[in-house]
Amino acid sequence: MKFNKNTFSIAGAEFNTRNGLITLAVSAGVLAILIFLKLVGVNFSWYGVLIGVAFLLALAFSVKYCKYRDLKSDLPYDLIWWIFPLSLIGARVYYCIFNNSFDMFFDFSKGGLAVYGGIIGGTIGLVICCLIKKVNILKTMDVVAPVLILGQAIGRIGCYTAGCCYGSEVTNKALQWFPIAYYVHGGWHLATFFWESMLCLIGFFVLAMLLRKYRSTGLIASCYLFYYGIVRYFTESFRDTSAQLFIGSQPVSKWLSLFLVILGTIGIVIIVLKERKKNQI
C-alpha cells in the first residue's frame, strides 16, 4: 500500500488521491443516509447494499488490473453488464434447485442466494462477453479472479446481517465470543461467515500479488479455484446443517469445493509444465 499527494496504490491498483477522497466522502454520506433510513423504520437489506458495494469495488480494481494481462481498461465496463445479472440469476437458481423452492424464486425477501450459483452464472456471463468482444477468456478470468474473491469477502459480511451461513451451535460458554462464535437465531453459533470473509480477503491480496508477478495465462484463475475450494471446504465443514444445501444427505458445497481444488490443481500443473517446456526450448 503506497500513498502520495497525487496517487495511492492498494494491492497493485493505482488510484487518483483526489478522486479517492471524493468517493470516500460520498460513500460516507450514503452510509449515513442508509443508517438514518434504517433508524426511522425504512426496510431494506444490508446484504443487498453490501453486494452492490462488492460489485462496485470489483469494477474499480478490475479496470486497474487489465494492464497485467494486456487487456483494454474499459473491458470491465462491458463485463459488468453480463456478469452482474447472470451471477444474481445463477445464485438464485442454484439456491432454489438445491433447496427445492422454485415457488419462492421471485420472493427475495426470504433470502436465498448461493455463492457457487453466482460464480457459475457470472462465469457464463464472462464467457459470453469475451466471445462477443473477441477477448481471451483465460486472460479475462485472471483479471477477474482477485476481484471476485474480494467481492466474496464483502458478501460474507452481508451474511451476518442476513443471519445466514452460520456454523454449528456452540454450547461451551468459554467459546461464546466473537470471532469464534456469534449470537444468531436464539443461540450461539460458530462465526463461519467471518472466517470465510477474512480468508477471502487474504486471498484477494495474494491473487493480486500473483497477477502482478506472473504473466502465465490462466494461472491466477487456477490459483483462485484451488484456494477458494480449500477455504470453502474448510468453512463448510463447520457449517450448521440448517445453513447448508444438500443433494440427498450430501452437502453440495463440500463436493463442489473438492472439484474446484482438483480443477485448480490440474490447471496450475499444466501451466507450470508448459512454462518449463517453453523455457527449455
The per-residue pLDDT for 15 is: 87
**Given a cut of 80, is residue 249 above it in pLDDT?**
no
pLDDT confidence band for 266 (50 / 70 / 90): very high
∠ CA 174-178-183, nearest 5°, is: 85
Spatial distance between the Cα atoms of 160 and 162, rounded to a whole number of angstroms: 5
- Is the pLDDT score of 137 beyond 60? yes
Task: Please tell me what DSSP assigns to residue 188.
Answer: E
Phi, psi at 249, each rounded to 5°: -105, 5
Percent of the chain scoring above 70 in pLDDT: 92
CA dist., res. 262 & res. 127, Å (int): 21
* CA–CA gap between residue 213 and residue 176 (Å, rounded): 42
Pairing of strands 246-247, 187-190: unpaired
The span from the CA of 75 to the CA of 146, in Å, is 16
The chain-wide mean pLDDT, for the chain, equals 88
Instruction: Give pLDDT, residue 49.
Output: 86
pLDDT at 82: 95
Per-residue pLDDT reduced to its tens digit, 138-170: 999 999 999 999 999 998 998 888 888 889 999
The pLDDT value given to residue 193? 93
CA distance 120 to 153: 17
pLDDT at 108: 57
Q: How deeply is 271 buried, as exposed, middle or buried, from its count of CB atoms within 10 A (0-12, 13-18, 19+)?
A: buried
CA atoms of 129 and 132, how far apart (whole Å): 5
Across residues 123-139, what is the average pLDDT? 96
Residue 186 corresponds to which amino acid? G
Are the beta carbons of 270 and 221 closer than 8 angstroms?
no
Q: Which pLDDT does position 281 carry in this prediction? A: 60
| pTM, to two decimals | 0.91
pLDDT > 90? residue 254 = no
